[in-house]
Amino acid sequence: MEYDLNAIVTPYVTSYIREKTKQSDEFLAGLEKYAAENNVPIVEPETARLLSVLTKLKQPERILEVGCAIGYSSILMSKGLKEGGKITTLEYDHDMVMTARKNIDAAGLSDTINVVEADAKDYLSYIDEDEIFDIIFLDGPKAHYVYMLDDAVRLLKKGGLLISDNILFKGMTADDDHFVRRKVTIINRLRDYIDALMTHPQLESSILSQGDGVTVSLKTVSDFERFGY
């Protein structure tokens, strides 16, 4: 069967939340309109607000994002950066990279946000531990999350946040009655990823039915502590 578009939260609750979660930033609102008109996937409005709140609470010096698209969430998160903070965002699609760079430049953030054209699954393994991050936001290919987890944890500071979007995937991750057979690989890997998050010895994680499902994971144990140094 096809999945129910309202499988995670009932339509009237979603409508109410979105009615109360209007984007007040004119530039970001313009990007939301562009994304809707051009069928570009960006974070849901309620997830965008969660990202904004968490970033402003954390006031990070460095953010790593996987899945830049048109640059919407990078620009959103930049508003919570500590003064002089930087964002590295990874995107595989060349056209998206060009669009994101154009939008980031128009927002006056070219010195703050660096868009790297790369396959994140491979690129993460090349980043040195000297480049650790306060927040890592996963919003790229969902089937790759489970393969990026070890590197994400390695590159996260103790006390840092790992935020993963689309984790419930229209309810399919949670319930076989909403399962679309052609999505079996993605769903099984997302289930493996959630299991790994919830049992990871260095993380404390929460699953939220926000937007398309979000996990927020706090790194509670450093790599040195894990290995008894």
Report DSSP letters for 183-215, one per residue: GHHHHHHHHHHHHHHHH-TTEEEEEE-STT-EE
The pair of three-digit structure tokens given for residue 212, joined into one six-digit string: 């398309």
Q: What is the pLDDT of residue 4?
A: 55
Strands of the sheet with 113-117, listed across from one edge: 113-117, 86-91, 62-66, 133-138, 156-165, 214-219, 203-208
Which is it for the CA torsion 139, 190, 53, 222, positive or negative?
negative
- pTM: predicted TM-score of the whole model, two decimal places: 0.94
Asked whether residue 1 is domain-assigned, the answer is no
pLDDT digits (tens, 9 = 90+) for 151-176: 999 999 999 999 999 999 988 998 88
107 within domain boundaries: yes
Span 31-49, mean pLDDT? 94
The mean predicted confidence, pLDDT, of the chain is: 92
pLDDT, residue 39, reads 93
- Higher local confidence (pLDDT), 227 or 37: 37
Q: Regarding predicted confidence, which is higher, 9 or 27?
A: 27
Q: Is 3 inside a domain boundary?
A: no
The domain that holds 17 is classified in CATH as 3.40.50.150
Number of domains in the chain: 1
Q: What is the dihedral angle through the alpha carbons of 213, 218, 221, 222, rounded to the nearest 10 degrees?
A: 100
Residue 187 placed within a domain = yes
Per cent of the chain over pLDDT 90 is 76
Strand-pair partners of 207 = 215
**What local confidence, expressed as pLDDT, does residue 95 receive?**
95
pLDDT average, residue stretch 32-49:
94
Decide if 5 is inside a domain.
no
pLDDT tens for residues 79-138? 999 999 999 999 999 999 999 999 999 999 999 999 999 999 899 988 887 789 999 999
Q: Which residue segment(s) compose the domain that 118 sits in?
A: 11-226
Running DSSP on this structure, what letter comes out for residue 2? P
- Asked whether residue 175 is assigned to any structural domain, the reply reads yes
pLDDT in tens, 49-69: 999 999 999 999 999 999 999
Report pLDDT for 3: 47
Q: Strands 86-91, 113-117: parallel, antiparallel or unpaired by DSSP?
A: parallel
The C-alpha atoms of residue 164 and residue 160 are separated, in whole angstroms, by: 13
